[in-house]
A and B are shown apart, each in its own frame.
Chain A
Amino acid sequence: EPEVTQTPSHQVTQMGQEVILRCVPISNHLYFYWYRQILGQKVEFLVSFYNNEISEKSEIFDDQFSVERPDGSNFTLKIRSTKLEDSAMYFCASSGTGFGEKLFFGSGTQLSVL
């Protein structure tokens, strides 16, 4: 079965550093998402991406965050200057047509900001 892959599985960084989280969505999918889960809390929507642009973003997704689909297969989330509160599990997801489609999630990147 096709799957969403995320790298790395764990990322440790110092506060103030930039991190890039990488995702390879399912190849024929058109809609891409980033979600995150702080330990013990709910899975929170960050951003959705379609047709090479952001379609929606949450209030969490401020100017420190950006997304890119640089080469037609990868989908990246960049955090420009990490804060302690950015420590979370970050999940990439993709869906086919978007409307009424289930999201396929990757296994996540655990980001620890020290």
Chain B
Amino acid sequence: DQQVKQNSPSLSVQEGRISILNCDYTNSMFDYFLWYKKYPAEGPTFLISISSIKDKNEDGRFTVFLNKSAKHLSLHIVPSQPGDSAVYFCAASALGSGTYKYIFGTGTRLKVLA
């Protein structure tokens, strides 16, 4: 039951350009979303979040966009840097339903080329 999907397993981007990572979800009860970055042999590290009452949240080089009608969110990284090369996971939760668990997507491996 893939409630959260990241359809691109990998993405390569030139340094300095924009990276766009996409995430789709099926559960309309999801109301809070997180993006995590993961390096090999490390735990996921939080990047940015967005609540369903917003359609955009920005933090430095990272911006997350949420399109509730399409059940789609995207993470924009600009400008991309070689240190951004990692696996990126989106995660969703239906906090308004009283749950605290997050459902993760399958991840997208980003490679930023110098």
Q: Which residues of B contact A35 (CB under 8 A)?
A: 104
- The secondary structure that dominates the A interface is strand
Q: Determine whether the beta carbon of A102 is less than 8 Å from that of B43.
A: no
The interface on chain B, measured as residues whose beta carbon lies within 8 A of the other chain's beta carbons, has a size of 23
A105 to B89 Cα, complex, angstroms: 13
* Interface range for A: 20 to 34
Instruction: Answer whether residue A75 sits at the interface, using C-beta atoms and an 8 A cutoff.
Output: no
Pair A106/B101 contact, Cβ less than 8 Å: no
Chain A residues with CB under 8 A of B102:
45, 103
Evaluate contact between A41 and B95: CB separation under 8 angstroms: no
Interface, chain B (partner A; CB < 8 A): 32, 34, 36, 41-46, 49, 51, 89, 91, 95, 99-107
Q: What are 7 A-B pairs with beta-carbon distances under 8 A? A: A42-B104, A45-B104, A56-B101, A99-B100, A100-B49, A100-B51, A105-B45
Residues of A within 8 A of B (CB): 4, 31, 33, 35, 41-45, 48, 50, 55-56, 58, 91, 93, 95, 98-100, 102-108
